[in-house]
A and B are shown apart, each in its own frame.
Chain A
Amino acid sequence: EAEVAQSPRYKITEKSQAVAFWCDPISGHATLYWYRQILGQGPELLVQFQDESVVDDSQLPKDRFSAERLKGVDSTLKIQPAELGDSAMYLCASSLGLDSSYEEQYFGPGTRLTVT
């Protein structure tokens, strides 16, 4: 069964360092989402792509976060510089992206970030 791949699974970094996460969606999925899940809370959408274009990045802290999906396939989420409050699980999800109505989102295993 096709899955969303994410790497690394765990990342420990020091405050003020740069960190990057990678996501490979299910083949053929045009829509890609990055979520942040703080411990004890539900996932919150950071950015949504349709192919290589950003659909919504209104919740992305753009002073330190950036996301790209240059060829419309895999995607990278970067944080520079990392702050203590960025410690969280970063989830990637994808969906077919063919319809304006709901399509099931398939989630990856996430990257657990700890900032020290």
Chain B
Amino acid sequence: AQSVSQHNHHVILSEAASLELGCNYSYGGTVNLFWYVQYPGQHLQLLLKYFSGDPLVKGIKGFEAEFIKSKFSFNLRKPSVQWSDTAEYFCAVILSGSARQLTFGSGTQLTVLP
């Protein structure tokens, strides 16, 4: 079955540190890729998405992600994190022909220490 893997369950960083969260998917066909974020006490919301074209996509709040097809990866990055980035981050995919259905990874809890 197709799946999405997020390597780190919990990441702890100090403010201004650089961030990279890993995401790999197992599907050989066309995929659309997403990162969602859930801030404490808030709804899941879209951070960024990749459909086609430039494999480096930029999202809100300074986040970016790079699609590397050969590695089946879509890692999330931010050069300098802030305390307000503390949240849970979910990678998700939509498989071609899947009626817009999201398949989520298990999530990574990011804690940024002030």
Contacts and interface: CB of A to CB of B under 8 A. Distances in A.
Contact of A107 (B43, B101, B106, B107): B43
Interface residues of A, number: 27
A108 interface: yes
Interface of B: 4, 9, 32, 43-46, 49, 51, 90, 92, 94, 99-107
Nearest to B42: A109
B46 A104 contact: yes
Consensus secondary structure, chain B interface = strand
B44 A55 contact: no
Interface of A: 3-4, 31, 33, 40-45, 48, 55-56, 91, 93, 95, 100-110
Nearest to B91: A42
Contacts of A105: 46, 100, 102
A45 B100 contact: no
Contact of B51 (A42, A44, A45, A102): A102
A42 B90 contact: yes
Contacts of A95: 100
Consensus secondary structure, chain A interface = loop
Contact of A40 (B44, B46, B49, B106): B106
Most buried by A among B51, B100, B101, B105: B100
Nearest to A50: B99
A67 to B, nearest CB: 15
B44 A43 contact: yes
Given A41-B106, A44-B104, A108 B43 contact: yes
